[in-house]
Structure 1
């Protein structure tokens, strides 16, 4: 089963640029691996790939091609994927509109629930780089 994911225009533009600048040509997409991560939501890794791996499914949303393994498909269902950029950071963010902030002591300093940031410096050609985790 493929997840229902909302991809904002900003996220679509970012993902399509990553894939286009990879030089992999038509049919390429973004391999996205999402895992549960702490009280703030999710951690993720991504890389441009020419085709999905044998254990991945292709999800196409608004011209964006995502290659997703089973666990990522389950975790992404119902999420909003966005690209955010501030003076100090930029990256993809994943928001679950149905979750509320956790009650742990770090909640005041934590980003919105269900949000992870991926720095632009994490973009690589074909090899995932260790993710930057929001805590």
Structure 2
């Protein structure tokens, strides 16, 4: 899998797993086209992967990635951002067209 997770994103994912999961739990990241960065995601802490999910260990976190997510995450950097309006994972996809104005 060719994607990056920033230290801030890895810390956020680890905190989510510790808060909501037991031993062996992972972070299911279901990515679809859309959103400002070209990608939007549904996230969940799961005890085990769904059928068809790949288990990817990266930066001390266990990710459960469905097939579509594995394709869409190629070359993407996953970061964590806290702004006055939202808190959560953000995706930087160099392949995506710039669809949102910069601040």
TM-score normalised according to structure 1 size: 0.68
Moved over 4 A (4+): none
Q: Tell me how far apart the structure 1 counterparts of residues 64 and 101 of structure 2 sit (CA, whole Å).
A: 26
Q: Tell me how far apart the structure 2 counterparts of residues 40 and 18 of structure 1 sit (CA, whole Å).
A: 22
Deviation at 1:100, TM superposition (A): 4.3
Deviation at 1:90, TM superposition (A): 1.5
Q: Tell me how far apart the structure 1 counterparts of residues 52 and 71 of structure 2 sit (CA, whole Å).
A: 14
CA contact (8 A) 2:14 2:61 kept: yes
Asked if residue 29 in structure 1 is aligned to residue 26 in structure 2, the reply is: yes
Higher Cα radius of gyration: 1
Q: Tell me how far apart the structure 1 counterparts of residues 101 and 66 of structure 2 sit (CA, whole Å).
A: 26
Equivalent position to 1:6, from 4, 16, 23: 4
CA contact (8 A) 1:40 1:111 kept: no
Q: Over aligned residues, Cα RMSD in angstroms?
A: 1.8
TM-score normalised according to structure 2 size: 0.88
- Greater share of residues in strand: 2
Deviation at 1:87, TM superposition (A): 2.9
Which residue matches 1:91?
A: 88
Structure 2 spans left out of the alignment, 5+ residues:
none
